[in-house]
Amino acid sequence: MSPSRQILLAASVALLASCSPDSSTGGNGGTARVIFVHAITDTGSVDVRVATKLTVPFTAVPYGGGTDYQTVSSGALSFTVQASPSTGVDTPIPLTNLSGIAAGSGAALTIVAAGQVKDTANARAVGITAYIDDISLPASGQARLRVINASSDAGAVDVYATAVNSAQGATPTFAGVDFRSALTRTIPSGSYTLTITPLSEPTTVLAQAGVTLQSSTAQTVIVRGIAGPLPPGTPASRRITTTVTTNIAP
């Protein structure tokens, strides 16, 4: 099966509601669910305000950290990312923000803040991207895996999902995933080694990660961090690696 390109949400995008057994339904007064992932390479922990409100799960999210699904009111959503702590500051300066997201009742979103605060002149600049989460159940024996590229200097990447104790195949499972874009595949459940390489350079390994995909589950792997040489004073924890979030649990 060919990978399906994930729909990306930028500033004024309507989101179709997709319901799951544990999501609230209805019109006004409904709820949506949101995961947030912090992939901004040159800042510390961040606070995330959803529709101007700051709650504990979105407070002091560390670099590389990802929340579980958090319930928010459905409707028009806005997200503002600020350096933590942002409370008690007269005028906290936003690092980035995104507004105009229309999330229907029962919808699920992954929000990724990526880029570099110091780089304001090009595509690496810090920004937020919202992704629609497919929370429909995969068939028995299958699992859904999505890759999001949040590494601002890696360029497009290939990702090979190789069954444990197997040789890496010649064709990437996820080919040419651009910065801020995503690809989704449904593959047999099992344990895999994920190998991230530059586009069309299968022997140049940027990072590897292990992931176990149980039957009828869905996970997202966010590729984040600096692929090239680290700037002076940058901690090794900012090297390219992955964060894994769960969209459908076992």
- Write the pLDDT tens digit of every residue in 220-230: 999 999 999 99
pLDDT digits (tens, 9 = 90+) for 192-213: 999 999 999 999 999 999 999 9
Give residue 7's pLDDT band: very low, low, confident or very high (50, 70, 90): very low
Whether the predicted pLDDT of 180 surpasses 50: yes
Per mean pLDDT, which range of 3-17, 118-132, 233-247 is the poorest? 3-17
Across residues 16-43, what is the average pLDDT?
A: 67
Write the pLDDT tens digit of every residue in 97-109: 999 998 999 999 9
* pLDDT for residue 144: 99
Average model confidence (pLDDT) across the chain: 89
Per-residue model confidence (pLDDT) at position 19: 33
pLDDT at 30 exceeding the cut of 70:
yes
Q: Is the pLDDT of residue 189 over 70?
A: yes
- For 108-154, the pLDDT digits (tens) are 999 999 999 988 878 889 999 999 999 999 999 999 999 999 999 99
The yes-or-no verdict on residue 8 having pLDDT over 80 is: no
CA distance 184 to 2: 9
